[in-house]
Structure 1
Amino acid sequence: MADLGYAHAIAAAAPEQFLRLERDAGHSSRFTDVDQVLANLIAAALAGAKIADIKAGPPSDKNNDTITLTPLGAAEKAYVHTAFSLTAQQARGAWFLPEQGSLKAGIMNLPAYIRNDPWYAITRSADDVARVQFASTADAVAAWSLLIPLFERLMAPVHTRAAGSTDTPEEQTATWEAITNSFDRLGLNTRATLSVLTYRGGWSSLDRTGQARARAGLLDVLAGSDLQQIAARYRAERVQALAAATGKKAKAGTPLARKVLTRSLQPVLSAYFAGDWLAFLDYLDMPPNPNEEVVTALPTPKLYVSGAAKAATVAADHGLDVDDVHAMLAAFMGQDTSVSAVEKRVEVMSRWWTQFDALHAKQTAGMPALWGLREEGGIFIGRRNRHVEPIYRTLLTTDLVADVDQLWDGIVLPRWPETIVSEPYPHRLMAETFGPAMKFWEGVALTAWYICEGPYSRTSLEGLRNYHQRDLRALEEAGTPIHQSLFEELANAEQYLGPAQEIGSESYETDIAEVEGVRLSLRISSGGQRRDGFEILRDIVTRHRQGWTRRYLREYLQFRWNNELSTVARELHRLIAVRGKPPTFRQFAKLAAEAANHWFNGDLSKLYTTIGEKAPAAPRRVDLLPTSADKFVNAVYLALGGQYYDDELHTSDPKAVDRYREIARLAARGIYYLQIAEATGQRPEPAQFGIKEYEWDWAGGVDRGWPVFERAIDQAIGGFPSLLRARPQ
């Protein structure tokens, strides 16, 4: 049985008693640096300095902002890096740390805004949100675990007053008493200053200037306090909570870390013990649990992907028949061939790329545009009958189209991992699997085309590099960069193009948005411009694309699958390190669904096998989609009473256009209805489908519209299959 004397003592102690017990036990010195850094940052903030500098990443890049704690000196920066870097804390076993997240960093800058921009302080602080990768800077981890929680505490009076309240008088009184008591525990003599901010304290009688002075007055009182003592008392409260939780779980000896570290307590271990559970136990004078396993490094992912190519070598090394080796590999992967699912898709994508390159290389002025070879998904519906075969079905070879249709026609929905359901856009999913190289090279080729052949281009030749900066950065990270001379040559070649020529006055449409799978387009009446010389740009792009292909394509596709599958394996190992056991099938699906959809047609069990793990289940495949997604959605649209219409209807009957738009959105959502039915084996419940997200005025309300919608689904697929269970009554 662990000695819990010290743990129980500090857990029940008042702040000043806690700090005295800590000194007597000889533990105070371990917190000198963190308390001093925190006090210095509080002082800088209260003096009017923005302590969190946020550099926004590109708008198209999620979680790519960076956050820097600007007032830190050289010694403090060194300490923060040592104590708070993600890799350092993970090396101490803190695998619970998030890989990425959204930090409401404005709370740290709120004092500066109150000092320097009092009229808009709350609004400006609300805008300071950093969506970060926690590995980007140690400052991000320090902000998450240490600073933001404290500033939320110190700025609670300002935020609570700004937010207003609809609570009862008793509830509001209790809220403000809790805030005042929390300041007392920090050793702050602020009751007089807080009184005007509290419920019925006279706040509403102040004009705007008076309210700004009251906020600044609170900062003055805080700034005049012993900030080192505030930092220490705040630490005492947080460590007390962690000690109390540990003692509560210590009925049969020292508890395991995962039994104690709830989401609210994980930042405490990160902030004050650098993520080190054993250091915290040493602080409590408790021995580690004999079953405690501190994982300081995750296993290196081992992927079973390319066995077929090595079959002959393996057979020769072990004196086996090569056919037997292929049979063993096939059995291991749970399929009838030794060629892995990943190898099949790499081969198909390589063929696709060859045909894509050939089509663009031979394109000449006057030919149709090649926009649409890379399917983006979405359905044209309503405005005229747009149902035409996409160009990839007519320009790519039949066998290639069929292979894409087969290898990417299924996906897993994380909510229902036991079933593989229909993917409505296999060619879109293939393009997504291929990644930024396809998007970049198609974009460059189309820019060259539309600049010369019109009617307009989304960017100029000079702006290509900036327009594709996200894809270019991804290609650099893959080790397959685009040579900068491509952009220089294209920009220089513009001088050799012919003069701009007006293109008639014919109208055309261009995509402007996509909502629920339905593409919205804008009709432009101007004819635009064209210029002679497309072949000049085409040849430059072709030469660079083919050079990149020879040098990098094989390496790039390997990076795509290796990076994605290794990430899944690493995250799986991280979860096991945190929880001490593998995640459930559904939990695994949340982190692995995208990779399974890209490389295994939604089959999570094959993904498990590829990363060397045993799958808890073998998903079943259910396919209720009888035809292409476009044909199905258009059939539902017509069955619901939708009609194809011309632009004139916008003027003659705008209400009809609104009605058809409502029906079009619902028809597009019919794909999801089928996917739920495939996953669950029964018709979706209205709430499960998400009926509140759609308008039902076209049917006179949801009660009348829902049965009509279900009948339209039945009609579009030729009658609902009898294999589905009836919806429970």
Structure 2
Amino acid sequence: MGEHPFASALATAEPGQFLRLERDTGRSSRFAELDQLVANVLSIALAGHRPVSVVTGVQGSSNNDTLALSSLSREEQGLVREMYSLSKQQKRGAWYLTEQMSLKAGVLNLPAHLRHYPWHAMTLATNEVARVHLGAAPDALAAWCLLIPLFDDLMAPITVRAAGSSKPGAEQEETWGQITARYATMGLAPTPQSRVFVYGAGWSRLDRGGQVRARLALLDELTRADPLQVAARFRAARIQALISATLKKSRSGTPLARKVLTKALQPVLSAYFGGDWLSYLDYVEMPPGSGEEIVTALPEAKLFVGGSAKAEAVAAQQGIDVSDVQAMLAAFLGQGSSVSPVEQRVDVLRRWWSQFDAVHARQAPGMHPLWGLVEDGPYAIRAGFGPTRQLYRWLLSPDLVEEVDRLWDGVTLPRWPETIVSEPYPHRLMAETVGVAAAFWHGVALTAWFVCEGPTSRTPLSGLRSYYRRHLNELAQAGTPIHLGLFDELEHAERYLGEPQPVYSHQQNANAGRTSISMGVIIGERRAGFERLRDIITGHRQGWSHRYLAEYLEHRWKSELTEVSYELNKFVAANGKLPTYKQFARFADTAANHWFNGDLAGLYAAIGERAPATSRRVDLLPGAAHDFVDAVYAALGGLPFDEVMKNPGSPLANSCRQKARLAAASVTYLQIAEALGRAPDIKEFGGDRHEWDWADGRERGWSAYQQAIEQVLMRNGAGSNFPGRPHR
């Protein structure tokens, strides 16, 4: 430590002395505006105002909530934009920052909730969780690294007491000792109001009203403290922790940033130095470490997915035979063909889209609904009206169906990326690969069908624009927008549909003498005129396809592969080495499953990297997953679902529901077995997510469930390949 005297002095100073050292050396000015901002937010919160607002994003989208610091002045907003922009922090080298984050932002509003809703404050605060994309606004990044840590410490007496604890007394005493020490660091001396929270000080003897009054008294006590001193001393303690970690790693010179910045310390660098490691080193008077390179920009993604189309040009340019070029391409791609996995799938998707369009274009009243043409979820045993199982096998050409089954029948599981396991629903995965365009055009066509042919529709035609808002936004962002005239034309055409006619669940005609008796239950309505709506949608769909389909499919594969390349380069920039296979799978599994049949090595090649390993392929699923699920349900003793669900509240119906859920999960059981090379135990399977009342308990149910799966495998001739159960 003697080699870095100023850093050593800061690391060992008391908070007040730390701030004096900053002031005496002219360093305090760099934090003046920041400390004042934090102090202002703290004052506003303790006065009973909410300093942050959380707006939930569009349902169905992830990480699109909005978090805004609602109490900042114009100058403070400018400071936040400059300090806490994700792109600016990454340009300063903060590649440890993740694009998406879940923030427990309610702690910032907890003082306000306690002032206004003291009986429900904890529930309100707990529910305020923001799932945000850090690049969308700097407020979220500022909340994460600058404000939430302070409020977590200040509100700890309240939140820890609200959570309760069953830990031994010694551990609870240690927890409260740490809370008291953090209060002292911020200059907050213990008072009767704060002591009552401490373990053994009488909190448990307070009734609910007494606890509410104690919380409000603590807020009043915090209000009397100098918020600027609290903010500055808290900052001092956090920077001290960073300095101490740096000095601990400095035995052979200044350590590299990635050697010091643990998950706990990354927010400190972002909060007070804008993510700039060199700025921090300058602050503590330490020279950059040998070999320290601050990456300010990531390499541009180079994708190798379209080589076959250029083989002839390369052969002519180099004066070699085109077959030699194709052989080299095949070797580079690690396969027997020079056509890349992405090219193969794009070709199949184009053909699928052509047949998908033709099926919808010829749909007419009296035909079977097309619900099930696009498989949009795993198969589940259900009662009543629903999608037609594997409808695509009846309506698409056999060769196309076979290619989809072949090209999307494998996936990688991030927990076990060394094995490519079976994908039980290749047509669902294929539709997921096509993405939002398939979901939109299929959904709009189904809505038109059910509006006209009944029995019910999830939205009227007038609500389509709002219902598909997320889809429209995503397509517009991809540069392949939907012409909004589609909705105007459909709404106009709705006026000319026929009068509503009742739709019956069933109808029976019986003759009683000369009287005809009609019996049935009205379950909805239908209206003539579907062909008019169909033709409007077909015209717009074919116009969009002609103009955008090729561009859209290129956007699909290019954006997913580029994102993987970006995440890989970001990992290297933050850690100084390539990720392990499992680390790579965490951000690469989606692209690998969509475009490479779960083969991570193929994805590595496509982004120009050498894979650290290869994956083995295991497939234990005998035939179609739908048939396997039905067979497991029967083996569990499940009864015909439609019949059982005529009395949905009965114990028998509840038992069959539980068995149906377990049967649907049997394909996941097989996937885990493929990955592990043995049957999973109940924890690996996720048994806590299921109910076992049907078997009088989890232990008996788990054994019966495993026996049912093995019985079905044996009956289908796959039992000899199934790995055994783990020994107890």
| Structure 1 Cα separation of the partners of residues 326 and 479 of structure 2 | 32
Q: Is 1:131–2:131 an aligned residue pair?
A: yes
- Equivalent pair of 1:105/1:128 in contact (CA under 8 Å): yes
Matched residue, 2:719 = 720
Q: Is 1:94–2:90 an aligned residue pair?
A: no
Q: Is 1:668–2:667 an aligned residue pair?
A: no
Matches within 5 A, 1:132-211: 132-168=132-168, 171-199=171-199, 201=201, 203=203, 211=211
Matched residue, 2:281 = 281
- Equivalent pair of 1:384/1:644 in contact (CA under 8 Å): no
Matched residue, 1:516 = none
- Equivalent pair of 1:180/1:191 in contact (CA under 8 Å): no
| Structure 1 Cα separation of the partners of residues 661 and 51 of structure 2 | 46
Deviation at 1:357, TM superposition (A): 0.9
| Structure 2 Cα separation of the partners of residues 468 and 44 of structure 1 | 39
| Structure 2 Cα separation of the partners of residues 207 and 632 of structure 1 | 56
| Structure 1 Cα separation of the partners of residues 563 and 226 of structure 2 | 46
Matched residue, 2:607 = 611
Aligned length: 713
| Structure 1 Cα separation of the partners of residues 10 and 635 of structure 2 | 70
CA distances 1:631-657 after superposition (whole Å, capped 9, x unpaired) = 122222223333325436754993333
With over 3 angstroms needed to count, the CA separation of the structure-2 counterparts of 1:222 and 1:658, relative to structure 1, is: closer
Q: Is 1:565–2:564 an aligned residue pair?
A: no
Matched residue, 1:520 = none
Matched residue, 2:627 = 631
Deviation at 1:321, TM superposition (A): 2.5
Matched residue, 1:685 = 681
Alignment-mate amino acid for residue 254 of structure 1: T
- Equivalent pair of 2:422/2:618 in contact (CA under 8 Å): yes
With over 3 angstroms needed to count, the CA separation of the structure-2 counterparts of 1:84 and 1:410, relative to structure 1, is: same
CA distances 1:659-679 after superposition (whole Å, capped 9, x unpaired) = 333333332222123222322
CA distances 1:338-376 after superposition (whole Å, capped 9, x unpaired) = 211111111111111111111111222222211111012
| Structure 2 Cα separation of the partners of residues 468 and 276 of structure 1 | 42
Matched residue, 1:333 = 333
Deviation at 1:239, TM superposition (A): 0.5
In structure 2, the gaps of 5 or more residues are 508-519
Deviation at 1:227, TM superposition (A): 1.6
| Structure 1 Cα separation of the partners of residues 118 and 548 of structure 2 | 55
Residue range with higher mean Cα deviation, 288-297 or 202-211: 202-211
Matches within 5 A, 1:421-460: 421-460=421-460
Matched residue, 1:513 = none
| Structure 2 Cα separation of the partners of residues 632 and 706 of structure 1 | 13
Alignment-mate amino acid for residue 317 of structure 1: Q
With over 3 angstroms needed to count, the CA separation of the structure-2 counterparts of 1:724 and 1:175, relative to structure 1, is: closer
Matched residue, 1:108 = 108
Matched residue, 1:654 = 650
TM-score (norm 2): 0.93
Residue range with higher mean Cα deviation, 203-212 or 560-569: 203-212
Residue range with higher mean Cα deviation, 179-188 or 380-389: 380-389
With over 3 angstroms needed to count, the CA separation of the structure-2 counterparts of 1:613 and 1:548, relative to structure 1, is: same
Matched residue, 1:80 = 80
In structure 1, the gaps of 5 or more residues are 508-523
CA distances 1:38-68 after superposition (whole Å, capped 9, x unpaired) = 1111112122221111121112111101111
Matched residue, 2:515 = none
> Once superposed, what is the RMSD of the aligned Cα atoms?
2.5
Alignment-mate amino acid for residue 529 of structure 1: E
Alignment-mate amino acid for residue 422 of structure 1: S
Q: Is 1:580–2:576 an aligned residue pair?
A: yes
Alignment-mate amino acid for residue 297 of structure 2: A
With over 3 angstroms needed to count, the CA separation of the structure-2 counterparts of 1:727 and 1:215, relative to structure 1, is: closer
Alignment-mate amino acid for residue 678 of structure 2: Q
Deviation at 1:205, TM superposition (A): 6.2
- The one of 543, 548, 553 aligned to 2:549: 553
- Equivalent pair of 2:644/2:653 in contact (CA under 8 Å): no
| Structure 2 Cα separation of the partners of residues 388 and 533 of structure 1 | 23
Matched residue, 2:586 = 590
- Equivalent pair of 1:54/1:66 in contact (CA under 8 Å): yes
| Structure 2 Cα separation of the partners of residues 385 and 146 of structure 1 | 52
| Structure 1 Cα separation of the partners of residues 123 and 660 of structure 2 | 38
- Equivalent pair of 2:31/2:272 in contact (CA under 8 Å): yes
Matched residue, 2:530 = 534
Matches within 5 A, 1:493-532: 493-506=493-506, 525-532=521-528
Matches within 5 A, 1:156-555: 156-168=156-168, 171-199=171-199, 201=201, 203=203, 211-381=211-381, 390-506=390-506, 525-555=521-551
CA distances 1:431-487 after superposition (whole Å, capped 9, x unpaired) = 000000000000110111111111111100010011111211111111111111111
Deviation at 1:377, TM superposition (A): 3.5
- Equivalent pair of 2:714/2:720 in contact (CA under 8 Å): no
Residue range with higher mean Cα deviation, 380-389 or 604-613: 380-389
Deviation at 1:382, TM superposition (A): 7.4
Deviation at 1:429, TM superposition (A): 0.4
With over 3 angstroms needed to count, the CA separation of the structure-2 counterparts of 1:11 and 1:667, relative to structure 1, is: same
Alignment-mate amino acid for residue 496 of structure 1: Y
Alignment-mate amino acid for residue 591 of structure 1: F
CA distances 1:584-631 after superposition (whole Å, capped 9, x unpaired) = 111111211111010000111100000000011221222222211111
With over 3 angstroms needed to count, the CA separation of the structure-2 counterparts of 1:114 and 1:651, relative to structure 1, is: closer
Deviation at 1:583, TM superposition (A): 0.7
Deviation at 1:504, TM superposition (A): 3.2
With over 3 angstroms needed to count, the CA separation of the structure-2 counterparts of 1:313 and 1:276, relative to structure 1, is: same
| Structure 2 Cα separation of the partners of residues 7 and 109 of structure 1 | 36
- Equivalent pair of 1:589/1:604 in contact (CA under 8 Å): yes
- Equivalent pair of 1:506/1:527 in contact (CA under 8 Å): no
Describe the SS at the equivalent of 1:67: strand
Deviation at 1:710, TM superposition (A): 4.8
Deviation at 1:196, TM superposition (A): 3.7
| Structure 1 Cα separation of the partners of residues 396 and 171 of structure 2 | 68
| Structure 2 Cα separation of the partners of residues 276 and 211 of structure 1 | 44
| Structure 2 Cα separation of the partners of residues 211 and 646 of structure 1 | 53
| Structure 1 Cα separation of the partners of residues 686 and 256 of structure 2 | 41
Residue range with higher mean Cα deviation, 218-227 or 705-714: 705-714
Alignment-mate amino acid for residue 429 of structure 1: L
| Structure 2 Cα separation of the partners of residues 120 and 690 of structure 1 | 33
- Equivalent pair of 1:2/1:286 in contact (CA under 8 Å): no
With over 3 angstroms needed to count, the CA separation of the structure-2 counterparts of 1:209 and 1:293, relative to structure 1, is: same
Describe the SS at the equivalent of 2:523: coil
Describe the SS at the equivalent of 1:528: strand
| Structure 2 Cα separation of the partners of residues 681 and 19 of structure 1 | 59
- Equivalent pair of 2:455/2:524 in contact (CA under 8 Å): yes
Residue range with higher mean Cα deviation, 665-674 or 44-53: 665-674
| Structure 2 Cα separation of the partners of residues 2 and 556 of structure 1 | 61
- Equivalent pair of 2:99/2:135 in contact (CA under 8 Å): yes
Residue range with higher mean Cα deviation, 677-686 or 332-341: 677-686
- Equivalent pair of 2:372/2:387 in contact (CA under 8 Å): no
The percentage of counterpart residues that share the same residue type is 54
- Equivalent pair of 2:620/2:718 in contact (CA under 8 Å): no
Residue range with higher mean Cα deviation, 589-598 or 411-420: 411-420
Matched residue, 2:704 = 705
With over 3 angstroms needed to count, the CA separation of the structure-2 counterparts of 1:54 and 1:21, relative to structure 1, is: same
With over 3 angstroms needed to count, the CA separation of the structure-2 counterparts of 1:499 and 1:283, relative to structure 1, is: same
With over 3 angstroms needed to count, the CA separation of the structure-2 counterparts of 1:725 and 1:112, relative to structure 1, is: closer
CA distances 1:214-251 after superposition (whole Å, capped 9, x unpaired) = 43333333223222111111011000100000111111
With over 3 angstroms needed to count, the CA separation of the structure-2 counterparts of 1:89 and 1:661, relative to structure 1, is: same
- Equivalent pair of 1:256/1:292 in contact (CA under 8 Å): yes
| Structure 1 Cα separation of the partners of residues 653 and 63 of structure 2 | 38
Matched residue, 2:516 = none
